[in-house]
Amino acid sequence: MVKKAKGKRPKHIPQRTCVGCRQVQAKRALTRVVRTDTGIVIDLSGKMAGRGAYIHNLQTCWQAAIKGKLANALKIELNDDDRKKLQDFMQNLPESELKEEQNG
């Protein structure tokens, strides 16, 4: 009879892929965008029901996502209201990782 090794198992950390840059990171490091019947919603809690896509909190990733990758991931066409909502949210994000690290 073989005894099992005792000890704590490492906690599972869900991984998601950024639609802007295609890098895989922990789910909590990314912002979720959800497709709803009324358009798209930026889901800061990460728990809304519906088809979602994940994007890094960097303007470069959001710009790439808005150009078409996000619409493809959500399987919809982005209308003008959706694009405006995404661009307004993007304006408050750092431009790139370098500037974010220099400020921090």
Q: Are 70 and 94 in contact (CB under 8 A)?
A: no
pLDDT at 97: 66
Does residue 98 surpass a pLDDT of 60? no
User: Out of 1-10, 19-28, 77-86, which region has the weakest mean confidence (pLDDT)?
Assistant: 1-10
Question: Any idea where the domains of the chain sit in the sequence?
Answer: 15-98
| CATH classification (class only), 15-98 | alpha beta
Q: How confident is the model at residue 2 (pLDDT cuts 50, 70, 90)?
A: low
DSSP the chain: -PPPPPSPPPPP--EEEBTTT--EEEGGGEEEEEEETTEEEEESSS--SS-EEEEESSHHHHHHIIIIIHHHHHTS---HHHHHHHHHHHTTS-S-HHHHHHH-
Q: How confident is the model at residue 95 (pLDDT cuts 50, 70, 90)?
A: confident
User: Out of 9-23, 51-65, 85-99, which region has the weakest mean confidence (pLDDT)?
Assistant: 85-99
